Structures are given as C-alpha cells and as structure tokens.
Structure 1
C-alpha cells in the first residue's frame, strides 16, 4: 500500500496524505481574501485561522475553540463561528456533516479525497483511490450525466476499534 504523500494509483489507496500547502501560505491567502472583501486582519481572526490551519485535520467549532483558548483566552464562540464562516466564504475551508452529525471543518486541499468515519471512536481517515474515481466517471457516463462534484463517506470500525471488544 502506498505511504502518506504518494499519489493514488490503480488499485491502491493513499491514506491521510499530508497537505502540500503550508500554514503560512494559507494565512497569506486568508489576508488577501480579507482585503478583497474590505475586511481587516485582526489578532483573534489570525489566531483562529492559524490554529485551524496548523491542526491539519477535521475539527468541530468546539474543539477549535478549546485549542484557540490555549493561546488567546479572550476568544469567544461567536468569534470562532464568524471566522469559520468567513474562511468558508473565502474558499479556504470545507464544512462537512458526516452521518448528518455535528459540523466538522477541514482546510481546502489541493486534491480531492474521500472519507472513512469510525462509528465507534469518530476517527476520520482521509483517503484517495484512483479506481474509485474512475468508477464514478463510468457510472456518470452510463447515466448520461456530467459530474460536477461528489463526496464519498464510508462508515465502519477503524483498525484500532476493530481490535477492541465491543462495549
């Protein structure tokens, strides 16, 4: 199986590929998009965005708030939610609702990926698989439709939870 960072090829799945875009590059893009909207870069916005980009995984607003409070105890939930909405409007994050649950946020990446969600511990594993992508294109062709986007969510037990007895 290919290691993290490799490109998915026929029949192989790449797991949890690390982002190629640095936190500093993401912060620069955020500042440019703020300026385009006539908004200012504030200390709290920057703290929230920086923590979000540095984490590099799916996170809820509550989890982000707890992390940001460690470096800036004056940040409130309202500021977290406003900044998340702003990052979404700036096309710098995706808002996901796995299994119709709580919103989780992830930084926009440079390549499409799909998700496996553990039903016991909630772990989210990002993966890419070229064979799955090709199959989706075949299905679209057979249906006579044009795909503009898609999302795939697989649910089950991660390897850690699978190894543990059910509670």
Structure 2
C-alpha cells in the first residue's frame, strides 16, 4: 500500500478527503517504517497545532479497518505502517528507527506439525532488533569523547 492507493481506496469507500488524512498518509509514505500516534502528532503539530490523539487514533483505526495500515506493538506502544499486500511474509523491525525489512520465511510451516488438530486462523511473526545504521549510531554514542587539548598562548 502507498499514499496514492490509500487515497483512491478512501474515495471508493465513500470517505471524504481531508487534509489531515492526506498528511497522515504522507508521513507513512515518507517514513517507510512504523510510526506511533505520538510520532504523527509531533510531525503534524506545526500544520495542525490543536490536533488531538482522538483525531489521530480515529484515522488510524479507519486506516486499519480498510487495510491501509497494519499495527504492531513495540515496547507496549501501538505502531503502524502501510499494509503489505504482497505475498505472505513477515518482518524484521528496527527498534530504534522503526524501519522494516521483509522476510519470506514463515515459522508456521514447521509449527503446524506440533498440533495438527489445531486450526490456525491467523498469525503474526516479527523479529525485533537494530538495523545496520542504528547499530552504528548506538556504537558511536557509547564511545567516549576524545580528550581535547587546550593550547594557551605562551607569555
């Protein structure tokens, strides 16, 4: 899913176009990873100073119902990204920047043999960690700053 497809879907389903909806979808289009309601509020505060969490969550809920967005939970907070409508797959999710990477391996193929009488109706499999860029940033933050040398003019 992308912003253009989402806007067409909203129109086809009879939902009116609003600048806020379009701007929220623009954020997801630019980000390419997960966003929280707080991320959205911070990003839109200049254009919509009084935007409430209620407005944001109402739109996020609508986008979820229409399968524009999908939800996950990171550290107890709901996070959203554009719904993947490709083939069945799962994600690696960076805990720092929220970017995702698709993985085609599905553990359900092996788990289905555990209890063949159990009828699976859905599942979610996500792997959390840090992407290469964020690992570099984290390592740089841990390095102590080099001692600086102050040179004073001789008298």
TM-score (norm 1): 0.64
Computed over aligned residues only, the root mean square deviation of the Cα atoms, in angstroms, reads 2.9
Q: 2:122 corresponds to which residue? A: 149
Assess, with a 3 A threshold, how the Cα gap between structure 1 residues 70 and 52 changes in structure 2: closer, same or farther. Answer: farther
1:59 to partner: Cα distance: 0.3
Work out the CA distance in 1 between the residues paired with 2:115 and 2:103: 22
Query: Of 67, 77, 82, which residue of structure 2 is paired with 1:107?
Result: 82
1:153 to partner: Cα distance: 2.8
Give the helix-richer structure, 1 or 2: 1
1:136 is aligned to 2:111: no
> 1:1-167, aligned counterparts within 5 Å?
21-33=1-13, 35=14, 39-73=15-49, 75-99=51-75, 101-111=76-86, 112-118=89-95, 122-130=96-104, 132-133=105-106, 135-144=107-116, 145-159=118-132, 160-161=134-135, 164=139, 165=142
CA contact (8 A) 2:94 2:128 kept: yes
Work out the CA distance in 2 between the residues paired with 1:152 and 1:125: 16
Q: RCO higher in 1 or 2 (8 Å CA, sep ≥ 6)? A: 1
Quick check: which has more Rg, 1 or 2? 2
Gaps in structure 1 of 5+ consecutive residues? 1-20
TM-score (norm 2): 0.68
Give the 3-state SS of the residue equivalent to 2:20 in structure 1. helix
